[in-house]
A and B are shown apart, each in its own frame.
Chain A
Amino acid sequence: MFNKRLLTVFLITAIVFGAFGALALRPAAVVAQDSCPTQKDSYVIGFANLTEDIDFTKLVREGMVSAAEAAGNVELILADNKLDGATALSNTENFITQGVDGIVHFQTDAAFGNVIMARSRAEGIPVIAIDIPMPGATFFGADNYYAGQLAGEALAAWVNENWGGQADAMLVLELPQSGPVPAARMQGMLESYQANVQTPVAEDQIYRLDSKNTQEESFRVVSDTLPAIPEDSKIVAITINDGTALGVIAAAEAAGRAENIIVVGQNADTSGQEEMIKPNSRYLGATAYFPEKYGDKIIPAMIDILECRPVPPSIFVDHIFISKDNVCDFYPDNWPEFCGGAEATPESGG
């Protein structure tokens, strides 16, 4: 009898709690769906690339395509901004016409951000902006100062180990015309080197040269500058990218001063990797940006945005300083011969 009563009470309690639970859960479920109106089973994302004319952006596009395929529920619509603001705006309009759920813009100038964002905001379409910030868009891109710091630290460590912690002069191959983004890289490299090396380079021995972003110009300006630096001086060079670094090395070789120069750069593209794995290379290494992996972070971030999960306002590339010591960890397929057991160069760490 007691058991029967107990069972009845238990059943009633269970039913009441169950009903309460159902009632409590049901509105919650409705609220969850209502609070994230952009959530769907599959998504259409528009990706407008900066240009299709350079290797870096082609790698970005390939990475985006792979990441979209890997996501399984993303259809990627591709466009090319052709380094042009009007084209970027036109692509935005086309994406809206095509009914995309989200837009990833890799466009040329922050000044066009207002009008592009006004269009997408009016349609309630979230935007991720690559490298060039736009108002209201989630930023994804290089942490240029940090990328510079990595190269500066590596250079300082090498000088501390191989030149007794002191270089006599520094060549700074910069790109003033492109404004603050490359400037941050250069600043990171310069400040980090000076902070980490045992004896910083004297201010009057720092030669700031406009590389114009080309190997040829870098070769020319360094060739013109080297005669001003005493013959046996130890020279460090920090450069805006691999091509510029190759220009510095070529100029030093032409002047017969290659042994007294050591260079770091940015990007670590194939040409840079090829130079750094050469025996006795004067190219210590470069900070990698891994454009082929941009998509691995961008596509999941866009899905998170569309599914109303929190996403930080800025997402940064995982930068790593690539030298001959670790190039095989990241790019083994590029250099099968070297990675299959190459000899170390005479100056280890360099």
Chain B
Amino acid sequence: MNTRRRWLERGLRSTDVQEVLALVIMLVLIMLLMSQASNLFLTPRNLTNLLMDTTTVGIIAVFSTMLMISRGLDLSVAAAAAFCGILIGRMQETNGLWAGAVVAIGAGGLIGLINGFLVTYVGINPLITTLGMLSMLRGLAFVLSDGLTIPVFDLTGQRMDEYLAFAQLAEGRAAGIPYPILIMLGLFLIGLIVLRSTSYGRALYAIGGNEEASVLAGLSVKRYRMTAYILSGISAALAGILLTARLYAADPRAAPNIELTVITAVVLGGTSLSGGQGNLFGTLLGVLIIGALLNGLKLQSVSTEMQNIAQGLVLMLAVAIDQVRQGRVMFGLGTLRRWVQRKSTG
């Protein structure tokens, strides 16, 4: 009994658990607030909408978390998703949708490989590298599509089954839950296992926490980090495929600015911008918090400006929490503490 209590106390004292608990409380509070504001908020239909809206961000966030734990950063994910969607749109007539999807996954991996190579082997700053990739991929998507959205539609009427099967990726359900939500949750589960229980996951933490020590310990830092970039590219491709299936169309402008939402969710979930820290359960909660907030505000017909302000505040809050976690705002807190001490003593 005592052992169990001590284990519980030790567990509750651990930083990760405390952070996750804080996020759970935040999520519950937002959901309570939104459900008070609208009686539609907690209906199964709306909760399904909410989760469906989070799938693109969620799928990418799984691997962005891993990448950021290893002190990497990928701003090209949204552009990669749009580009991969366009590849499917372009290939649908000549090679078929599934071949397009396979090529899209390959292209996502290649994008990650190039990002990873430039960051790890050439030594270019990840922000600059992936910003450049973002710009290039958006441009390529526009060139390949002539700037127009490509309908994913069986014009010949000969391959209806293939198109219906592809649409099922987004429309299909298992036990009443849409596939994209299941895919997102499945990826979170796989990611959790990888980070917690595999040498690859532990290596990512080690590399992000102390690169030099990792090198000295014999870890192949470049290879591990490059793999994280490749996985990030593949996740963007997967998000692009699901988005294309959901919209029956490939849009070169798809997923606008979601790279920022991904970073917000990941940092809010407890992953440090400086690497070495983070967990996927926190990221999932971060994704859900942002999703619940935006969905609730939408149900209230709150203006886009206010929604943007709310999302911006969440991003700032997330970064501030990260800074506190890193001990970088100790000046401010120390000053406050000393002021409180002075007041209380004198």
Chain A contacts for B46, CB-based, 8 A:
94, 97
CB contacts under 8 Å to A, within B73-107, are: none
Select one of B53, B150, B246, B303 contacting A115, CB under 8 A. Answer: B246
Task: Tell whether, in the assembled complex, residue A84 and residue B49 are in contact, meaning their CB atoms are under 8 Å apart.
Answer: no
Chain A contacts for B251, CB-based, 8 A:
84-85, 109, 111-112
Cα–Cα, bound, A111→B150 (Å): 7
Chain A contacts for B247, CB-based, 8 A:
85-86, 89, 111-112, 115
The minimal Cβ–Cβ distance linking B5 to chain A, given in whole angstroms, is: 45
Cα–Cα, bound, A167→B301 (Å): 52
Q: Which chain B residue lies CB-closest to A91?
A: B298
Task: Tell whether, in the assembled complex, residue A98 and residue B299 are in contact, meaning their CB atoms are under 8 Å apart.
Answer: yes
Q: Which chain B residue lies CB-closest to A80?
A: B304
Select one of B147, B246, B254, B303 contacting A52, CB under 8 A. Answer: B303
Question: Residues 168-183 of chain A: 1 if any B CB is under 8 Å from the residue's CB, otherwise 0?
Answer: 0000000001110000
Question: Residues 63-89 of chain A: 1 if any B CB is under 8 Å from the residue's CB, otherwise 0?
Answer: 000000000000001111011111001
CB contacts under 8 Å to A, within B21-61, are: 40, 43, 45-46, 49, 52-53, 56
Whether B305 sits at the interface, judged by CB under 8 Å, is yes
Chain B contacts for A326, CB-based, 8 A:
none
Q: Which chain A residue lies CB-closest to B294?
A: A90
Cα–Cα, bound, A86→B243 (Å): 8
Whether A42 sits at the interface, judged by CB under 8 Å, is no
Task: Tell whether, in the assembled complex, residue B256 and residue A94 are in contact, meaning their CB atoms are under 8 Å apart.
Answer: no
The minimal Cβ–Cβ distance linking A80 to chain B, given in whole angstroms, is: 4
Cα–Cα, bound, A52→B246 (Å): 24
Cα–Cα, bound, A186→B77 (Å): 37
Q: Which chain A residue lies CB-closest to B148?
A: A179
Known contacts A79-B301, A98-B40; A85 and B249 CB within 8 A of each other: yes
Cα–Cα, bound, A112→B248 (Å): 7
Known contacts A52-B303, A109-B249, A115-B247; A94 and B147 CB within 8 A of each other: no
Task: Tell whether, in the assembled complex, residue A97 and residue B246 are in contact, meaning their CB atoms are under 8 Å apart.
Answer: no
Select one of B43, B295, B304 contacting A82, CB under 8 A. Answer: B304
Task: Tell whether, in the assembled complex, residue B45 and residue A97 are in contact, meaning their CB atoms are under 8 Å apart.
Answer: yes
Whether A162 sits at the interface, judged by CB under 8 Å, is no
Known contacts A86-B255, A94-B49; A111 and B305 CB within 8 A of each other: no
Chain B contacts for A90, CB-based, 8 A:
49, 52-53, 298
Q: Which chain B residue lies CB-closest to A53?
A: B304
Question: Residues 134-178 of chain B: 1 if any A CB is under 8 Å from the residue's CB, otherwise 0?
Answer: 000000000000011111010000000000000000000000000
Task: Tell whether, in the assembled complex, residue A79 and residue B298 are in contact, meaning their CB atoms are under 8 Å apart.
Answer: yes
Task: Tell whether, in the assembled complex, residue A177 and residue B147 are in contact, meaning their CB atoms are under 8 Å apart.
Answer: yes
Chain B contacts for A108, CB-based, 8 A:
253
Task: Tell whether, in the assembled complex, residue B301 and residue A78 are in contact, meaning their CB atoms are under 8 Å apart.
Answer: yes
Chain A contacts for B45, CB-based, 8 A:
96-97
Select one of A79, A86, A94, A114 contacting B254, CB under 8 A. Answer: A86
Cα–Cα, bound, A82→B258 (Å): 13
Task: Tell whether, in the assembled complex, residue B56 and residue A111 are in contact, meaning their CB atoms are under 8 Å apart.
Answer: no
Task: Tell whether, in the assembled complex, residue B298 and residue A83 are in contact, meaning their CB atoms are under 8 Å apart.
Answer: no
Q: Which chain B residue lies CB-closest to A118?
A: B248
Cα–Cα, bound, A177→B252 (Å): 13
The minimal Cβ–Cβ distance linking A208 to chain B, given in whole angstroms, is: 17
User: Which residues of A pack against B, CB within 8 Å?
Assistant: 52, 77-80, 82-86, 89-91, 93-94, 96-98, 108-112, 114-115, 177-179
Complex A-B, nearest 10 residue pairs according to Cβ-Cβ distance, in ascending order? A111-B149, A111-B249, A80-B304, A111-B151, A109-B149, A177-B147, A93-B49, A52-B304, A78-B301, A97-B46
What are 30 A-B pairs at a CB distance below 8 A?
Answer: A52-B303, A52-B304, A78-B303, A79-B298, A80-B303, A83-B253, A84-B254, A85-B249, A85-B251, A85-B254, A86-B247, A86-B255, A90-B49, A90-B298, A94-B46, A94-B49, A94-B298, A97-B45, A98-B299, A109-B148, A110-B149, A111-B148, A111-B251, A112-B248, A112-B251, A114-B151, A114-B248, A114-B249, A115-B247, A115-B248
